[in-house]
Amino acid sequence: MKIVTICGAGIGASGILKVNAERALQRLGLAATVVAADLASVSTVAADAQVILTSAEFVEAIGVTRADVVVIENYFDAVELTTKLEAAIG
């Protein structure tokens, strides 16, 4: 399974979201590859992804994708991230 975290530049917010998503997956006992990327490369990086994690501001710009786009309100909220990841994967 591949999960892509998206932000504008691909280094700040997506990096934080990547680390926290990996922690959430660990809590759930699930394995996945988590990749941080910028908005400009989403079509390439997320072409084979099952889940894209991002903020509401980037959803429209991501466009059409086969991945489940999950909006995360608070990148530091472990409960929100774990719950939404579990729902997207399960």
- In the chain, the domains with their CATH numbers are 2-89 (3.40.50.2300)
Residue 12: the pLDDT is 81
Residue 14: the pLDDT is 87
Residue 11: the pLDDT is 66
pTM of the predicted model as reported, rounded to 2 decimal places: 0.92
- Rounded Cα distance between 80 and 90, Å, is 15
Residue 10: the pLDDT is 59
pLDDT in single tens digits along all 90 residues of the chain: 999 999 877 568 888 999 999 999 999 999 999 999 988 888 889 899 999 999 999 999 998 889 999 999 999 999 999 999 999 987
DSSP code string of 19-69: HHHHHHHHHHT---EEEEEEGGGHHHHTTT-SEEEE-GGGHHHH-S-SSEE
